[in-house]
Amino acid sequence: MKYIVTGGAGFIGYRLISNLLVSGHSVIAIDNLCRGSLSNIAEFSGDPNFSFHQVNLDNYDELIDALPPFGNLYIDAVWHLAANSDIPAGVKDAAVDLRDTFMTTFNVLRYMQAAKIPELFFASTSAVYGDHGDNELTELTSPLRPISNYGAMKLASEAQICAACESFLRRALIFRFPNVVGTPATHGVIYDFVNKLKINPNELDVLGDGSQQKSYLHVSELVDAMQFLVENTNKKYDVFNIGPDQDSGVTVKFIAQTVLNIACPNAKIKYGLGSKGWVGDVPRFNYSIAKIRDLGWAPKMKSQQTIELAVREIFEELSR
């Protein structure tokens, strides 16, 4: 099989591409290198089944100029991972998510129709649900009321993909992620905490009061789940929550203390005010993965184990 992976130089893209190449597939990776890094994919550079193109996906002309002419390129599917991952930046400037989260999807679909690429696998997010408190979030939860521009543009992307299934896509799978952690890290709460302690090893500033409680999934298990769904579902259009199983998550206080235990045991933690770290932050959610579990997939780790592993991995990575 031959795939395009957008956001291919990011930490999820790297893990996915590694698995695809090991499985004997060919991969064309696309990334604008805003968050991703060439160092993440350097190990693939000598592989004849791998190629990379630096492309701003919000610019359709740039996309079609970077790839071979439509008639000379058969692609089985696109794994669309590219998006803005800085939610506060999207709150400050809504154009960020319009450009990097929605227009990237719009142009990928436009390209897929022109190139006759039949299948799309899309990285969406729990942020499309909005703030439902402790109510369990299933794929049928409604209404969908995102409270961040990131969540809004992911939801708009889902709607655009659904419409594309009516007109030209043979199949589309939507994967709604929880918080994903692991290496090679490019952003996220653990990454930020470790970098803050490198600057000031005496004190860790935390946004919010630390009571925010969320589910976390290791990137290796996320990629495993996505590949499982691609191989084990055949509906024309389907949506899946992916996350830890029957897990209430962990608090930011737990994450901060775990980082301190490994990185700077003598540092103090300075918490902010309120239950939200930033505008658009969903302070807690209860995520159901019953739908994918019923198909036969479940993660091996709970949120607590995931955080403990990811803290060790990211600390080691940033200490090199």
pLDDT in tens, 201-214: 999 999 888 888 88
Spell 154-163 as b/e; 16+ CB within 10 A means b.
Answer: bbbbbeebee
Give the mean model confidence (pLDDT) for residues 44-49.
94
pLDDT-above-90 percentage for the chain: 76
Whether the per-residue pLDDT at 283 is higher than 90: the answer is no
How far are the Cα atoms of 28, 55, 68, 69, 154 from residue 225, in angstroms, in the given order? 21, 27, 31, 33, 20
CB atoms within 10 A of CB 58: 19
Contact assessment for residue 240 and residue 308, using Cβ atoms and an 8 Å cutoff: no
Average pLDDT for 93-114: 94
Of 111-120, 186-195, 222-231, the least confident:
186-195
First-to-last CA distance in the chain? Answer: 36
Which tops the pLDDT comparison, 271 or 274? 271
β-strand partners of 6: 30, 80
Q: Is the pLDDT of residue 148 over 70?
A: yes
63: left (phi over 0), alpha (psi -120 to 50) or beta: alpha
Whether 277 has a pLDDT exceeding 60, the answer reads: no
* Amino acid 71: pLDDT: 62
Q: What is the pLDDT of residues 161-202, one digit of tens each?
A: 999 999 999 999 999 998 899 999 888 899 999 999 999 999
- The model's confidence at residue 134, banded by pLDDT at 50, 70 and 90, is confident
Can you give the pLDDT at residue 286? 81
Bond before 143 cis per omega within 30 degrees: yes
- DSSP lists the bridge partners of residue 53 as 30
Strands 286-287 and 136-137: parallel
Tell me the average pLDDT across 285-310. Answer: 94
pLDDT band at 74 (very low <50, low <70, confident <90, very high): confident
Q: Looking at residues 36-56, what average pLDDT do you find?
A: 94
Residue 133 has pLDDT above 60, yes or no: yes
Q: Which parts of 171-212 are beta strand (E)?
A: 171-177, 179-181, 203-206
Q: Which two tokens stand for residue 312?
A: 């060790």
Residues 79-103: what's their mean pLDDT?
88
The residue among 86 and 146 whose pLDDT is bigger is 146
- Helical residues (DSSP H) of the chain, grouped into ranges: 11-22, 38-41, 60-66, 87-92, 94-97, 103-115, 149-167, 189-199, 219-232, 252-263, 290-295, 303-318
